[in-house]
Amino acid sequence: MNKNWMESRYTLGSIVARSNAMTQIMPEAQKAANDSTRLLIVGEIGVGKKTLARAIHYSGNRAKKPFVSIPCERLTPDSVDRILFGDNSSSGILEEAAEGTLVLSGLEDLGPIAQDRILTVLREESAQDKECESRLCNIRMIATANVEEFAQVLADGSFLVELHELLSEATIEMPALEQREADLPYLVNDILKEFAVRERIETPSVPFHYMDLLTKVAWPENARQLRNHLESVMALSEGNFDPEILLAHFEEIEAPQTIRAAVHNLLSKLNGESNLASAMNS
């Protein structure tokens, strides 16, 4: 996928927001795109926190500047200084993100040493190395966090209160997929369109019964799990909706018996439609 396509894909205008849960947060996201306030995006696993962060970046006045993201778990005591500030062989992410956006992903995984280093940067608006000062200014920071796990580290005192306050000048909570039923068909179509572009195939049309079932299944890992399911089904069935592959995938999902019964009902309907199409073509 080329860079221009990716940039147009991740703007606020491309975010699916038909549900009430999403329409409520979009004004906050648009406001965040129009300023440089440090932003904290929280939500359950897989809800699209980083996707929203990227959309905010590419919808604002920093869209032509760097977008850099780092998982907080990578900022270990042994690597944090090298990753943040660089060394003799490479530049650090603070320099790479200068005048752009730096996303700290998974704030709940940020260790005490990394917390201290980032707090120093935010306090002084520069790194410890004065030579880098002019290159490290004017970075917009966005942090993402798992809402429950981050609440826990705040409660047990293992996250610096001052750092939390500095990183959360504004906060957006991404809703879970179960709150976005009206969005799901559009999310499915977006995922399939992206898959088709990547694989250079026509975007597959979704059988009605299959789409209906997707709205009934619980997705504990939210949009990420939905994407993984769809892309796996597409890859295994070579861009089609093979009923047997659908059945196998849904049976792997922990779901109530009512859903399992619906899966078998879906299989029967899809097989019936397939047999009817074959008869009409013969």
143 forms beta bridges with: 40, 104
pLDDT of 188? 93
How far apart are the C-alpha atoms of 117 and 104, rounded to whole Å? 13
- pLDDT for residue 255 is more than 70: no
Mean pLDDT in residue range 148-177: 97
Domain(s) of CATH 3.40.50.300: residues in the chain = 3-175
89 three-class SS: coil
Tell which residue, 215, 207, 116, has the closest CA to residue 124: 116
pTM of the model: 0.85
* pLDDT attached to residue 7: 53
- How many alpha carbons lie under 13 Å from residue 71 in its C-beta half-sphere? 2
Closest among 3, 24, 63 to 172, alpha carbons compared: 24
> How far apart are alpha carbons 17 and 23 in whole angstroms?
6
For the chain, give the percent of residues with pLDDT over 70.
80
pLDDT at 231 over 80: yes
Q: Is 230 exposed, middle or buried (0-12, 13-18, 19+ CB in 10 A)?
A: buried
8 A C-beta contact, residue 100 and residue 67: yes
pLDDT level of residue 130 (50, 70, 90 thresholds) = very low
- Count the Cβ atoms, other than its own, within 10 Å of residue 62: 20
Q: Which residues lie across from 250 on neighbouring strands? A: none
Between helix 243-252 and helix 222-236 the angle, nearest 10°, is 150
- CATH number of this structure's domain 3-175, picked from the four choices 3.30.70.380, 3.20.20.70, 3.40.50.300, 1.10.260.40: 3.40.50.300
Q: Is the pLDDT reported for residue 167 higher than 80?
A: yes
Higher pLDDT, 209 or 16: 16
CATH class label, 178-281: mainly alpha
Mean pLDDT of the chain: 84
Which residue(s) pair with 208 in the sheet?
A: none
Which residues of the chain are in CATH 1.10.8.60 domains?
Answer: 178-281
* Residue found under tokens 């942090």: 143
Q: How many whole angstroms separate alpha carbon 195 and alpha carbon 189?
A: 10
Least confident of 21-30, 108-117, 181-190, 201-210: 201-210
d(CA 220, CA 174): 14
Stretch 219-225: mean pLDDT:
91
SS3 271: helix
CB neighbour class for 252 (10 Å; exposed up to 12, middle 13-18, buried from 19): exposed
Q: 19 is written with which tokens?
A: 């549900």
Residues with Cβ within 8 Å of residue 282, at least 6 apart in sequence: none
Tell me the pLDDT tens digit for each residue of 25-77.
999 999 999 998 999 999 999 999 999 999 999 999 999 999 999 999 999 99
